[in-house]
Amino acid sequence: MSTETLNTTYGITSAALLPIAESTNPYGLSSETMTESVGDSTSLDPLLPLATKVDFSYQPLTSYAMDSSNASSQVSDGGSTLQLSNSAWKKVDFIYNVNANTVMQFEFRSDAIGKVSAIGFDNDNNFWNTNWSNSTAFKLAGSDQWTGWNQAINNYSGTEWRTYSLNIGKNYTGPIQYLFFHNSPNTTSPLENSFFRNVQLYDINPLDTVAPTVANLNAPTITTSTKDYSFNVSYTDSVFMNAGSLDSKDIRVTGANGFNQLAQFVSSTTSADGKTVVGTYKISSNLGWGINDKNGVYTVSLEGNQVGDYNYNFMAAQTLGTFNINVSTIDLGSNLTGNLPITINPSLLSNYTMGGMSANEVNISPDGTLQLSGDLWTKLDFAYNVTQYTVLEFEFRSDAMGYAHVIGFDNDNSYWDNANSNKLTGFKLFGTETWSGWNQSLNNYSGTNWKSYSFKIGDLFTGAMSYLFFVNTNPNGTLGNSFFRNIRVYDTNSLDIAAPTTGVSIANSTMVNGTTFVNANSEYQFTVTYTDASGINLATLDNNDIKVLAPNGTLQNATLVSTTSSSDRKTVTATYKILDNLGWSVGQNNAYSILLQGNQIGDLNNNLSASQTIGSFTVEYSSLSSTTQQLSRSQSEFEFNVSYYSSNGIDVTSLDNGDLQVTGPNNFQKAANFVSVQKNGTNEWIATYKIVDNDGIWDAKNNGIYTINLQANQVRSIAGYSLTATSLGNLVINAQEKTLWYSGFENGFPGGEWLNYDTGTYSSSGEPTQSSNWTILNQTQAKQQGVMELSGNSVYKGWINAESTDSHRPYPLVHVDPSGQWNPDTTFNDYLSNPAVPVVNRFYVYMDWEPSKISDSDWLSFMTVTNNTYWGVLGFSLRGANGQLEMAHAPWQTVTSTPAIMPSDRWVRFTTYMDFKANLLYVWMDGTLIFKMTQGGNLNYTDGVNGQTAHLRRAHWGLYANGGFSDATVYNDSIQLWTVQSPISDPSQEPWSPYDGDGVDFVYSSDSVAPTVANLNAPTITTSTKDYLFTVSYTDNTLMYKGNLDSKDIRVTGANGFNQLAQFVSSTTSADGKTVVGTYKISSNLGWGINDK
């Protein structure tokens, strides 16, 4: 736009907007025209200006200058408010003839300051031909330093509405056609916006030449040592007060001890007729009224050309009145306060001495941090009377060293006066410059982290200061910068002589029997709270504040981690930490004391705390260990131990099935089951866990290394601290055995685990239908016959009723050969397809026969096996009435010194080792090796010739006898087959079974009550016979096991030193199996009554 050369002074004021006469002019006519149209109105003061107000809902918004495609605008409040977002330039048609008396007034606010918020006027729709030295575009806020903006009202801060009143006619006259509005953000945040409302132009009335007057000053006496003091000034005008002219430059207060301060404008209220405005102002004490700002008389003065009316008549400077400060000594002692950080207002920053502020060299972050970069000297308007008690406190940091990084005070806008007079009020903190004009007492910064400074400048100089200045010089273009934050200037109080007090907080602690326990496996953090009536000096907090005393006398400095402070710094919480180099462990006393060091922690009045013990704690050092544990024999469960250590004890109730996860080969992952825990010494608890394989047995298929993983937050100490997740160690499975086949007769018959070889002999009811039969008994049926099951709920029974012309074959069959005709069990496919390894068979047999009905040529076989596909079998049987055991169909030998005899009426365990490739078989009975069979007969490995192989092909158990047998019963249970990975080396040891280990203990797992003796039938001996028979009746609530009765049960003692174990003769069992009557005998050496008296 085209302009003429004008004066550069603008009359600017800002405050709350007052109601003014609104125009109904829809075409934007000047107020002169409007005055003519309403001049006959008797309701308006002829000296009151009429305003032309913008209606944004009536006047359409159009693009202007550099308006962008994403520009956003919104009109609200009936057309009085305009909101701009994103990068927006908007104008409205607004025809007005600006003269020397024209004023533009509006309100503005922003949710967040962006790059530019601006308002202006134009007459040719071309912003770029403006007179840059006297721009008609007024910047209100933003980081942009472009010289094309008029900076006269660039002073907005905060987020609240602010009113601006600008006499634009002092610098521009002539017609205008547009009002324009601009918003430019720094980021994509929608909060970086601009709001304009109640935009209006009017002409002041030159006929009104009388300035307002002060009607009243309401400034009561100060009697308490508060920080802020508020008072009121009433202004009045004969026509209309301009409340927008009230601000923080109106009133100055002077008084005792050199006090000189501009009062801060707070708010105003306006009378209904607009002729009276009451302004509220406040002044602040450096520390507290009556302390630094002493008791006495204070004068309130109005500054000239500040407060005016709507016709721009401003009041002259004048004294308004006085007030008194009269604070008692008692009140001073109870109202000590520290100053809050200085808020740096960009509008109060200006050039200083020999350097100016250029674009992007000064930045103030939202938290109030001042950043300086480039090469500059800048000052902040800051009036303060420095006394002998004045302290400067701040934090500083720099990313890189420059030439000089400085902070200081001045009172005449020229540092050279101070330097030349050796009054060094500028403090160098950092930099390569060596100029003697800087005070070097704080020149000790290094690194890039924040550092706190606090020093008593009153010891160096005193007097009234007008500015706080900052220097960041980089004459060679280096990258050095300066950051300042939490700048405080305050006076200490000579009446405050109390040092700060302390309180320690033991974090994450638990009290157990009066002792505070903490969890600290590698380091420990605790907090100390410092309190003081005047405020804590943050600069006194460092790594020398606290020492921790160990039981062995070792001291460690606690490292300061962080601090948090209340706004007045009367409460400061510091976090410290100590490391595990004091030697805490489970094997010693872990009680520690926290010692505050003397003369370390101070308050704002330089009172330092004395050394003292402020707390104690005991380290709860919980740990755990597990050595590598190995499973070398197959079994159903793998039990292992984990040791837990704790100085106050393990909470055993926290041990459960969720403590450990075990991982290993073949994607194995399973929780370990908790079994038990046992204390071992003072600080160790040994917990036992077990894991179970998915198929129920750990064997050679599971061989490998497994990892024990402790789960987080599972195992706790009594103090409540949980161990963290970790890997403990390994479990190694290196088993020789591999399961092959098992039957407890649970599938009955017919079923998948058996074939019926002798069709027609199976009796589902167990009734005799021919010479021999077999069936499967359930638990109840077995008990009724005096037999307890060993596994599951079923038992095989085979029995002979009478002699037969053919062999008795009431038995089921295991058929291993996959090519056979009897529907083989595919369980053996894997076994047959791999190289042959030894096979072991274990089975349990319970036998009852009548010896008087058996001849020496009769035989009864318990087991038949073969490696021959043509049934060239090997047998294991009882022969003859006395029950002698023998092998059949290959060379064999009795390993025991006496023949092996088959016990009757009890369970007997037989284990057979078969290495067909080596032509070798071993048989154990109840753990004792009784037979060995070697090559010959049907035991003749030929690598498949004539059907002889190295693999087991067929097997059967049960009852198989010659036809001469007429009375016998056989029970079987828990029949097992497994392989071993290498031949056995010590046949004296019965092989370990992956199914039942060393063998079944013949008791009910749920029966814990022993049998009782129901009766002893032992009549008196009256004749001198050699043998004496008597009976004992045993009874049990569940089931008696008659197989337990033998010649070790009963001992008889008597006259003449008689002492003899009774020989077991026989037993009978009741139908329910709960009672067994045993018959025993004792023998006299010569005859009863002769040698045995």
281/183 Cα distance (integer angstroms)? 33
Instruction: Give the closest residue to 787 by CA, choosing from 746, 735, 846, 734.
Output: 846
Strands (E), 142-295: 162-166, 174-184, 194-203, 213-218, 228-236, 251-255, 259-262, 264-270, 276-284
Higher pLDDT residue, 351 or 468?
Answer: 468
Q: What integer pLDDT is reported at residue 310 of this predicted model?
A: 82
Average the pLDDT over each of 62-76, 640-654, 689-703, 754-768 and give the range with the smallest value.
754-768
- DSSP 8-state secondary structure symbol assigned to residue 49: P
**DSSP per position, 120-142:** EEESSS-GGGS-GGG-SEEEEE-
Q: What integer pLDDT is reported at residue 663 of this predicted model?
A: 95
The tens digit of pLDDT for each residue in 860-905 reads: 998 999 888 777 888 899 888 888 999 999 999 998 888 899 988 8
Q: What integer pLDDT is reported at residue 415 of this predicted model?
A: 82
pLDDT-derived band at 1087, boundaries 50, 70, 90:
confident
pTM over 0.85: no
Strands (E), 532-648: 546-549, 555-557, 559-565, 571-579, 591-596, 612-620, 623-625, 629-631, 637-645
Q: What integer pLDDT is reported at residue 29 of this predicted model?
A: 26
The tens digit of pLDDT for each residue in 3-59 reads: 332 222 333 333 333 333 333 332 222 222 222 222 232 334 556 566 678 899 887
Percent of the chain topping pLDDT 90: 28
pLDDT at 1060 over 50: yes
Domain 623-735 maps to which CATH number in 1.10.3470, 2.60.40, 1.25.10, 3.40.50? 2.60.40
pLDDT-derived band at 181, boundaries 50, 70, 90:
very high
Range with top average pLDDT, 131-135, 549-553, 714-718, 927-931: 927-931
At the topology level, CATH places domain 346-491 in: Jelly Rolls (2.60.120)
Q: What integer pLDDT is reported at residue 329 of this predicted model?
A: 47
Average the pLDDT over each of 149-153, 294-298, 890-894, 1041-1045 and give the range with the smallest value.
1041-1045
The CATH number assigned to the domain with range 12-203 reads 2.60.120.260
pLDDT at 276 over 80: yes
Q: What integer pLDDT is reported at residue 819 of this predicted model?
A: 54
Instruction: Sort 244 into a burial class: Cβ within 10 Å, 0-12 / 13-18 / 19+.
Output: buried
Q: Return the half-sphere exposure (C-beta side, CA atoms, 13 A cut-off) of residue 539.
A: 19
pLDDT-derived band at 387, boundaries 50, 70, 90:
confident
Q: What integer pLDDT is reported at residue 475 of this predicted model?
A: 66
Instruction: Give the closest residue to 929 by CA, choosing from 956, 953, 898, 895.
Output: 895
Average pLDDT rounded to a whole number, residues 655-664 = 95
pLDDT at 495 over 70: no
**Mean pLDDT score across all residues of the chain:** 81
The tens digit of pLDDT for each residue in 140-155 reads: 998 887 878 888 888 8
pLDDT at 355 over 70: no
Instruction: Give the closest residue to 501 by CA, choosing from 534, 464, 530.
Output: 530
pLDDT-derived band at 128, boundaries 50, 70, 90:
confident
Architecture of domain 213-333: Sandwich (2.60)
Instruction: Give the closest residue to 342 by CA, choosing from 409, 268, 290, 296.
Output: 409
Instruction: Sort 774 into a burial class: Cβ within 10 Å, 0-12 / 13-18 / 19+.
Output: buried
Q: Which CATH class is domain 740-980?
A: mainly beta
Q: What integer pLDDT is reported at residue 765 of this predicted model?
A: 56
Strand 907-915 and strand 51-53: the pairing is unpaired
pLDDT at 78 over 70: yes
Architecture of domain 501-620: Sandwich (2.60)
Instruction: Check residue 748 and give left, alpha or beta (phi > 0: left; psi -120 to 50: alpha).
Output: left
Chain centre to alpha carbon of residue 1088: 87
Higher pLDDT residue, 281 or 569?
Answer: 281
Higher pLDDT residue, 494 or 437?
Answer: 437
Percent of the chain topping pLDDT 70: 82
Paired tokens of 286: 């450096």
pLDDT at 726 over 80: yes
Instruction: Give the closest residue to 458 by CA, choosing from 382, 411, 537, 389.
Output: 389
pLDDT-derived band at 844, boundaries 50, 70, 90:
very high
Average pLDDT rounded to a whole number, residues 397-426 = 83
Q: What integer pLDDT is reported at residue 824 of this predicted model?
A: 55
